[in-house]
């Protein structure tokens, strides 16, 4: 591990954008995606088409409690880097919900990697959040803590907002198909159609910056 990425209290320091007022946020998913790719140039940003193709080739593993996809030993692990309330509204089938702040702590990153089990050299991890910032932070942290994952851990370009906007498969917390997606906040929700919005709890004004 590159010790230059650790602070004095063993907290991972992951590169990212300067803080901006929400009123200055880019107005489209394309602009957001371009910014995320610029902020995280060492991470591969997998397109929804690429992920959908991979998922079509790799059926769900046997067993109702299995959270990864597997096929002849080659696994594709999906990590949903959002809050539980966001995950409950909808997520990509097979995804595992992980804490958005896990990227800050090497021990938390190692715990996530341990939870997905032993992986082959052809395994891949795909992280997603609302638009790609939180998931890129985790992808970079994974590649930093375990360098063998460099090149095999990906951010989903446009994340769940783009995935949902393209009408791709989502399920709710009970596993039922849904088209809805948590908008993260009233402002970030402007990046997707209001018809797709769904809140687990009543909407409230949010001052969060990173989606």
Find the DSSP H helices in 58-94: 84-89
What is the per-residue pLDDT for 78?
95
Contact 131, 138 (CB under 8 A): no
Report which of 186, 110, 187, 101 is spatially closest to residue 148, judged by C-alpha positions: 110
Q: Could you state, in chain order, the average pLDDT of each consecutive group of 10 residues for the chain (211 residues)?
A: 38 46 59 93 95 80 42 72 96 95 94 80 91 97 91 96 95 94 92 90 46 68
Per-residue pLDDT, 210: 60
pLDDT of residue 171: 95
What is the predicted pLDDT for the residue at 205?
A: 47
Q: pTM value? A: 0.79
pLDDT of residue 120: 72
Q: How many CB atoms lie within 10 A of CB 22?
A: 14
For the chain, strand residue ranges (E) read 44-46, 69-71, 74-80, 96-97, 124-128, 153-156
Q: Can you tell me the distance from the alpha carbon of 105 to that of 83, in angstroms, rounded to the nearest whole number? A: 17
Q: CB count, 10 Å around CB of 135?
A: 32
The per-residue pLDDT for 163 is: 97
Pairing outcome for strands 69-71 and 74-80: antiparallel
Q: Compute CA distances 78 → 35, 70, 82, 93, 95, whole Å.
A: 22, 11, 12, 9, 5
Taking Cα atoms as reference points, which of 83, 43, 42 lies closest to residue 210?
Answer: 83
């Amino acid at each position: 591990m590159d010790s230059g990425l650790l602070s004095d209290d063993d907290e991972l320091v992951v590169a990212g954008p300067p803080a901006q007022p929400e009123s200055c946020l880019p107005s489209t998913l394309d602009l957001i995606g371009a910014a995320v790719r610029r902020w995280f140039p060492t991470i591969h940003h997998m397109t929804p088409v690429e992920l959908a193709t991979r998922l079509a080739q790799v059926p769900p593993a046997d067993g109702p409690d299995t959270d990864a996809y597997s096929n002849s030993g080659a696994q594709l692990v999906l990590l949903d880097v959002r809050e539980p309330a966001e995950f409950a509204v909808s997520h990509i089938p097979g995804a595992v919900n992980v804490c958005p702040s896990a990227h800050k702590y090497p021990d938390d990153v190692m715990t996530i990697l341990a939870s997905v089990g032993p992986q082959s050299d052809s395994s891949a991890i795909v992280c997603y959040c609302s638009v790609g910032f939180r998931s890129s932070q985790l992808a970079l942290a994974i590649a930093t803590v375990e360098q063998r994952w460099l090149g095999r851990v990906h951010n989903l370009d446009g994340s769940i907002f783009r995935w949902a906007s393209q009408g791709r498969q989502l399920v709710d917390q009970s596993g039922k198909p849904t088209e809805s997606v948590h908008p993260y906040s009233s402002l970030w929700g402007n990046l997707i159609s209001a018809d797709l919005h769904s809140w687990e709890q009543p909407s409230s004004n949010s001052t969060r910056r990173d989606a």
